[in-house]
Structure 1
Amino acid sequence: MSRPRAFDIDAVTEQAMQVFWQSGYAAASMADLYAATGLKPGSVYAAFGDKERLFQRAFETYAAHFRATLPQGLTGLAAIEAWLGVQADLSVADPERKGCLIVNTVAERHAHSARTHAMAQARMDEIRAFFRTALDQAAAAGELRPDADPDLWADSLTGTVVSLMTLGRAGAEERTIRNVATAALAGLPRA
């Protein structure tokens, strides 16, 4: 009979998430993960199996945090404006300038399995779907010109989020990051 875990698996996942977010999957060593979590190798492998499965669990934990940043009670252009503002704030407020684990994972795709890459792509699709829904709502409310292409703008706004997070990770000045968000919003084909 196995012993019950003497640690909180969610807390350990959060600690591992911080390591992966800061260092990336490839650069995060198992020694780094043991140090961050305080666990011994046997405990990590018993709980998670291997580094990739630990990463996948940490990635989904991050995705849940990311989803929590989506605006509640707002639709259309107000939702888009609010969320881009949040993304710009997150990009500049992090003193470690880690960027976004979703974007970082997509950029590091060569280091990941097909399953992990599919998980990251699904989160990117989720971001695009948020923008597409908000754009459809904006069009229905008459906030956009009738000739506005919602697919074009959903792709563009998704690219803006990738840019904000990448610029944040690169240590860009706050002015630059905020200007990217402002320009994206100014370019929308408003009615």
Structure 2
Amino acid sequence: MVGQRQFDERRTLDRAREVFWLKGYGATSMQDLASASGVLRGSLYNAYRDKETLFLRVFDDYAEQFLADAAQALAQPVVDQALRAFFDFTITSMTTGVPTRGCLTTKTAIDTKADGERIRAALRDLLDKMERLVHERLSTGEARSRLAIPPAEAARVLITMTRGIVVMERVYQDPERLRATAAALIDALLTPVDPGRRSQTG
């Protein structure tokens, strides 16, 4: 019927995400996406018009799930635990698979063929929302009392670090090295808990 997908869209988008994530936007062709999804290339064009539009549909779903998982990690009751859980989530995400799949956001950001304004806007939107999530977590009284710099600055530094460790993962392929680096930054941003204060509130 006109206006209806003649294929399982959820399955198609999931397969397309896997291809984009592994190969990168520029190296992925519509034929790659058709082969992975089992949907004819013509049907993909009819449904999404072009590769960029299909990628943006995939990235929208990816961003929504990524932010939900990041928010869950940041919900830990103590700020140290929250930030470590946040980095553990991001590192686990980028080191999943054989070979490791890396980070879809950063992989796309450095892809010279992914230079369309709609793609750049989608990447900025995700990073801005990630920064807001971290900023909100660092704006609690418990977190503010331990931060070495204002919450907004700390949030920006932490999100910038998530982009840097993506590159380091590509070079060293050592998740524990990434976690140690993240832990060092967290320790630098947070003052230690006063033992006397801990015993009073415990």
Do they superpose with TM above 0.5?
yes
Higher mean C-alpha deviation, range 27-36 or range 94-103: 94-103
Amino acid at match of 2:46: A
Match of 1:19 in 2: 19
| Equivalent-residue separation in structure 2 for 1:107 and 1:80 (angstroms) | 26
Question: What is the TM-score normalised by the length of structure 1?
Answer: 0.86
Question: What is the TM-score normalised by the length of structure 2?
Answer: 0.82
Match of 1:150 in 2: 151
| Residues 130 and 186 of structure 1: CA distance in aligned 2, closer, same or farther (over 3 Å) | same
CA displacement at 1:110 relative to structure 2: 5.2
- The within-5 A match list for 1:58-97 is 58-72=58-72, 73-74=75-76, 77=79, 78-97=81-100
Match of 1:39 in 2: 39
Amino acid at match of 1:181: A
Report Cα offsets for 1:69-101 as digits up to 9, x if no partner: 224343561322211122223333433322121
Contact 1:103 1:162 in 2 (8 A): yes
| Residues 110 and 150 of structure 1: CA distance in aligned 2, closer, same or farther (over 3 Å) | farther
Report Cα offsets for 1:133-154 as digits up to 9, x if no partner: 11111xx126534752222211
1:165 aligned onto 2:201: no
State the number of aligned residues: 189
Match of 2:121 in 1: 118
Higher mean C-alpha deviation, range 140-149 or range 8-17: 140-149
User: What root-mean-square deviation, in Å, do the aligned CA atoms of Structure 1 and Structure 2 show?
Assistant: 2.3
Contact 2:15 2:37 in 1 (8 A): yes
Match of 1:180 in 2: 181
Percent identity of paired positions between Structure 1 and Structure 2? 28
